[in-house]
Structure 1
């Protein structure tokens, strides 16, 4: 009897070559690379796919190929979806669960890159590195003291969300001699302490931290977690950092807090619209360092994410439970469907 072929599909968005290398090397798997320029071909390919590697970038992936109810209805044999990052904004997890589709993300695969980027923003703001570089190239008649920054040693770092990335940030904070606080309602106090932070309430963290950095997912509980009331609770002259997701902080409320001088600076890698429009109010402020959701976009980070995605797809198609299953309640339904399709 001929062994069934498992079809894995991805769109022709950039991905580290290791994903294709791993998929192409697995007997019994056929990788489809679907060209966005041919929508009919994409739908034809997806209609017979068993595993879909999807971009988590909501402003990069054409909305018609988000993994929602419409796509699911057109893909009767779709067994699993692998998001190419820690986030999964382009996947309707509830709809997938109802349909018996397992969803995985790549949590932690680019954690080192994101944590390093977080501290790059903290250091650039505290040391006024961008301003010093600009003035040295374009200005004259200023002194070194005009560009005096701050030590972060001995200051307080407040981390909102102490998952894999948050823990990396906490450990870096300790290495820099910072006092590290963390707020994460999903973790008990012992776990927070084991991750190199002191557990506190959100209010206490905001009142006491010199640097507040977000590392939580975007969901119904965290949407606009940081708004005008929260920014007003932060210390005068504190710095706000986010390498998490756009929409967790209120961009206009942050702008007002920075413009008024209550906060001294912000480092932002994530935006409600990515990239943000050139006329975005936050981009008019000199005390904002802005990057284009590139915290995890390093050569090492992207390779780790691609390898993780490929390996989890392999596990799922073999009926093995992967390490980053977002909807564990789907498991029995998924296995039944896998058996029905492949025997």
Structure 2
């Protein structure tokens, strides 16, 4: 049997595959579609992150494919209907990077609320901006709003609560009697926008969530609020967000995901000179520890699928 890995992972995890199974580990494949299609021709399984498109073209090029291991949890790059038709198992690494994402959300929140961690150039220049930066805030006592209350949002809630934050969330798909609601204010989408001092997004990208945080929704947010998006690009109208930050209507934002990924120079130009904005390249769930957990779980998921367990 043959496994093809098209994006980076912890290579040591691959040792868990049984001897006799052929593994092609080539993270450069994600940037060469033709080479990817050629590589999967004899593959029984592929392992990907979020950039490799598992669509009908790739599935047609991989007639033996039985399993898709996802190094993460988002599945918008995978044609689930086509995989279901072919009886191909789609295997996300559920829970393995939860801690990494939750810590990113809390870290970004604290940095943006405090507003004092981007002063290196001024400090080195001898400007000593103590008065300007001494007006930053504390997260304790603020409302952490969670759009979606799945596993990652629950981990964020646990850490936000420990910091003295009040919790509010909107998730129409989570049953009212679910234990995750304990200590979390349950509210509608519009109410959440108006209540949250920090709004953290934890929903998938679907036709229902695409553009959900557009100009109208952003205008309904509390003045000076913080937005953190570690979910998926496309949920937030990026131009509208830049306008809200530039006008001062919002106090700051952290974006780890974008409508265009990788973010090109052309797409990135939108964010040039935008104040109080943290931009990172889809790495909220990628830490050394998280990558190890994700990689080992994905290998185990694929191993079991190929073994028929």
Name the residue aligned to 1:241. 228
Q: Following the alignment from structure 1 to structure 2, what is the Cα–Cα distance between the partners of residues 31 and 95?
A: 24
Name the residue aligned to 2:25. 33
Query: Are the counterparts in 2 of residues 237 and 261 from structure 1 also a CA contact under 8 Å?
Result: yes
Q: Give unpaired runs (5+ residues) of structure 2.
A: none
List per-residue Cα deviations over 1:8-56 (Å, max 9, x = no partner).
Answer: 2223x32112332212xx2453223356499776545412211111221
- Between structure 1 and structure 2, the one with the greater Rg is 1
| 2:159 alignment partner, SS class | helix
Kindly tell me: are residues 282 and 77 of structure 1, through their superposed partners in 2, closer, same or farther at Cα, counting changes over 3 Å?
same
Name the residue aligned to 2:206. 219
Instruction: State the 1:117 CA deviation.
Output: 0.7
Name the residue aligned to 1:297. 286
Question: Within the alignment, does 1:51 sit opposite 2:29 as a pair?
Answer: no
Q: Give unpaired runs (5+ residues) of structure 1.
A: 1-5, 321-343
Of residues 47, 65, 69, the one that matches 1:78 is 65
Pick which of 187-196 and 267-276 moved more. Answer: 187-196
Name the residue aligned to 1:147. 134
TM-score, length-scaled by structure 2: 0.91
| 2:118 alignment partner, SS class | helix
Report the number of matched residues: 305
Query: Are the counterparts in 2 of residues 167 and 196 from structure 1 also a CA contact under 8 Å?
Result: no
What does residue range 1-343 of structure 1 map to in structure 2 within 5 Å?
A: 6-11=1-6, 13-23=7-17, 26-34=18-26, 36=29, 42-57=36-51, 61=52, 66-140=53-127, 142-144=129-131, 146-191=133-178, 193-194=180-181, 196-278=183-265, 279-320=268-309
Instruction: State the 1:290 CA deviation.
Output: 1.4
Q: Following the alignment from structure 1 to structure 2, what is the Cα–Cα distance between the partners of residues 90 and 151?
A: 38
Q: Following the alignment from structure 2 to structure 1, what is the Cα–Cα distance between the partners of residues 233 and 32?
A: 30
Q: Following the alignment from structure 1 to structure 2, what is the Cα–Cα distance between the partners of residues 275 and 283?
A: 16
| 1:117 alignment partner, SS class | helix
Instruction: State the 1:196 CA deviation.
Output: 4.8
Q: CA RMSD in A?
A: 2.1
Kindly tell me: are residues 100 and 309 of structure 1, through their superposed partners in 2, closer, same or farther at Cα, counting changes over 3 Å?
same
